[in-house]
Every structure is written in structure tokens, then in C-alpha cells.
């Protein structure tokens, strides 16, 4: 099977390359080959490469900066995926796209279902929602995978930030009123490859799915376990979101209902604690 991936060095893109099954061929395009601020180039890349499925693992992910660069975020997260999906439809191949819990407003305490009404709080969430709408409008075989709190041994993420801060501090204040499912990038990559194979074989169902690690946890409790598993004596002090102001509002409730992914593709929520141990082992 031949997979075309947009993204080369990001967390999910990197794990896709590491987990490419034997006998498969994967082409990962970096920014030099397909810059997502040029959607037409992305579409052309899909048309020019021989592939059985396309996975978009590239994105604009700076949530706060997006408030000042919404036009750029919309190009990268919105218009580029729409162009890729349209080109994949022209070629008759499935298109897989990684989205975010930020398409919801984070209200309540129930886990968000794929068909729940969206309501992004900021520019980043609006750009991700724009991308979802473009992928669906393309009319082809697709899978949108909404996920949350991604971490790995590569790139920038909460786990690496906590480890870095823990090297010079004996206590740290962390938000405790935002709850979600930390998700190892390795598990996201594995899920994407499995869905791609199913869609290519004609046995997988097109749609929007949720995929996040279990169990759900607050950022503060996530930090505690990071320090515990890393054998770092760092005290975590709970604070509310008001005590850690950011330019962009974050969803308080990032819980995702992943039942439909289990039902239609047989993919369970991963235990992020096991993934955390793997990541810490790799970093060490």
C-alpha cells in the first residue's frame, strides 16, 4: 500500500513514518515540497504522486499565535486540507485528516460526540473546523480524526515542557479545571494507518471520529503523573484557568466520546499512561 503524508517532522507525521508497516511505501512531504500556505501546491502534490491513500498530519498548531494570524491558520488548517481532499476525490482515493477537540466550546462535563454541535472558542478552533468542512464538502472517501492533548518524544508538547521545567523547579502551578484525554502520537499514527487500510479496502466507513487517550484527566493530574513516572520530585499546585491567562481561550471540557471509532473500525482508546512510559523511556 502506498501512503502520501503531508508533514514530515511533526509529532504524528514522525510516528507515521516510524510505524509504516512492512511492505508499505510511505512518502512524507515537508514544507519545502508542499507548503500548506499554498493550497494549490498541496492539491497538485496529491495529483502528482501515486498513492492509495492520503494522510494530512501537518497543521498550524500555535493556539495563541493564531489569534493574531487567523488568515494564515485558515490557509494551513482550513483551505489546504480542503484542496488536498478535493484532489484525493478526483483520484478516487481516501483522505484522512487530523482535527482537534478545539472545534467544541468546552462546556459541560459530558464527553463530546462526533455529531455534537461545534462552537470553537478561538481562531485555532475555527481554522480546524474550516478544514473539517472542506474535507466533507470534497465528497470523497474520508476520515476526520479529532484528537486531544497530543504528546510524543519529539516536537513541542506538555510532557516535554513539564520535564524541562522540572529540571530547575521544585514546584509548579498547573491548571486543574481543564479536563481531557492525553493522546500519544504513536497511537494516533497507528489508528490512522489502520483506518487508511480499511478505507482503501472498501471495508471502512467514511466519517468523523474521536480518538483520545484514557482515562480523562486534568492538566494538573497529568503533570503529577509525568513527574512521578520520571522520578522527579516536583510538587504540582492546582490553579484554575484564570490563574494562567492566555491570549486564546482553552476548552474546559476536552473529553471525547470515542465509541463510534470502536464500533466502526474496532479501535479502542489507548491507555495514555502506557504511552507516557514509552515516551519517557525514549527521552531518557
Each residue's pLDDT tens digit, 161-184 = 999 999 999 999 999 999 999 999
* In contact, 262 and 205? CB cutoff 8 Å: no
Residues 58, 5: Cα–Cα separation, whole Å: 9
Question: Counting every residue, how long is the chain?
Answer: 284
> Mean pLDDT over all residues of the chain?
97
Written as nine digits, the cell of 284 is 531518557
Written as nine digits, the cell of 170 is 521544585
Q: Does 96 have pLDDT greater than 90? A: yes
For cell 494507518, what's the residue?
193
Residues 214, 90: Cα–Cα separation, whole Å: 37
Helix (H, G, I), strand (E, B) or coil at 184: strand
- Could you report the per-residue pLDDT of 260-270, keeping only the tens digit for each? 999 999 999 99
Mean pLDDT of 136-143: 98
Q: Are strands 235-239 and 171-175 parallel, antiparallel or unpaired?
A: parallel
Active site residue 209: no
Residues 251, 106: Cα–Cα separation, whole Å: 4
- Could you report the per-residue pLDDT of 29-57, keeping only the tens digit for each? 999 999 999 999 999 999 999 999 999 99
Element (H, E) at 204: none
Structure confidence at residue 284 (pLDDT)? 79
102, 124, 142, 209: which one is catalytic? 124
- Cα distances from 102 to residues 7, 63, 76, 86, 167, in angstroms, run 21, 10, 16, 24, 30
* In contact, 113 and 72? CB cutoff 8 Å: no
* In contact, 137 and 84? CB cutoff 8 Å: no
**Which pLDDT band holds residue 227 (cuts at 50, 70, 90)?**
very high
Structure confidence at residue 204 (pLDDT)? 84
Q: Does 236 have pLDDT greater than 90? A: yes
Domain 2-157+182-214+250-272 architecture = 3-Layer(aba) Sandwich (3.40)
Structure confidence at residue 187 (pLDDT)? 98
Residues 173, 45: Cα–Cα separation, whole Å: 45
* In contact, 98 and 188? CB cutoff 8 Å: yes
Amino acid at each position: 500500500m502506498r501512503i502520501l503524508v503531508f508533514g514530515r517532522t511533526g509529532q504524528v507525521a514522525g510516528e507515521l513514518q516510524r510505524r509504516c508497516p512492512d511492505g508499505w511505501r510511505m512518502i512524507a512531504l515537508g514544507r519545502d515540497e508542499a507548503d500548506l500556505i499554498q493550497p494549490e501546491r498541496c492539491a497538485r502534490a496529491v495529483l502528482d504522486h501515486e498513492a492509495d491513500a492520503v494522510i494530512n498530519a501537518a497543521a498550524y498548531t500555535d493556539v495563541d499565535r493564531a489569534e493574531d494570524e487567523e488568515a494564515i491558520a485558515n490557509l494551513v488548517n482550513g483551505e489546504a486540507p480542503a484542496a488536498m481532499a478535493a484532489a484525493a476525490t478526483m483520484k478516487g482515493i481516501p483522505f484522512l485528516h487530523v482535527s482537534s477537540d478545539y472545534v467544541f466550546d468546552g462546556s459541560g462535563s459530558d464527553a463530546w460526540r462526533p455529531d455534537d454541535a461545534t462552537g470553537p472558542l478561538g481562531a485555532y478552533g475555527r481554522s480546524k473546523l474550516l478544514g473539517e468542512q472542506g474535507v466533507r464538502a470534497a465528497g470523497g472517501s474520508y476520515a476526520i480524526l479529532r484528537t486531544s492533548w497530543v504528546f510524543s518524544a519529539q516536537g513541542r508538547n506538555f510532557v516535554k515542557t513539564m520535564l524541562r521545567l522540572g529540571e530547575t523547579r521544585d514546584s509548579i502551578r498547573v491548571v486543574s479545571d481543564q479536563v481531557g484525554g492525553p493522546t500519544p502520537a504513536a497511537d494516533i499514527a497507528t489508528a490512522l494507518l489502520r483506518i487508511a487500510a480499511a478505507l482503501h479496502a472498501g471495508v471502512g466507513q467514511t466519517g468523523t471520529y474521536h480518538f483520545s487517550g484514557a482515562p480523562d484527566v486534568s492538566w494538573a493530574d497529568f503533570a503529577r503523573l509525568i513527574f512521578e513516572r520520571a522520578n522527579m520530585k516536583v510538587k504540582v499546585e492546582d490553579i484554575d484557568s484564570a490563574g494562567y491567562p492566555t491570549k486564546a481561550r482553552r476548552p474546559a471540557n476536552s473529553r471525547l466520546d470515542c465509541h463510534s471509532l470502536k464500533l466502526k473500525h474496532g479501535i479502542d482508546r489507548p491507555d495514555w499512561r502506557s504511552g507516557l512510559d514509552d515516551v519517557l523511556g525514549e527521552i531518557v
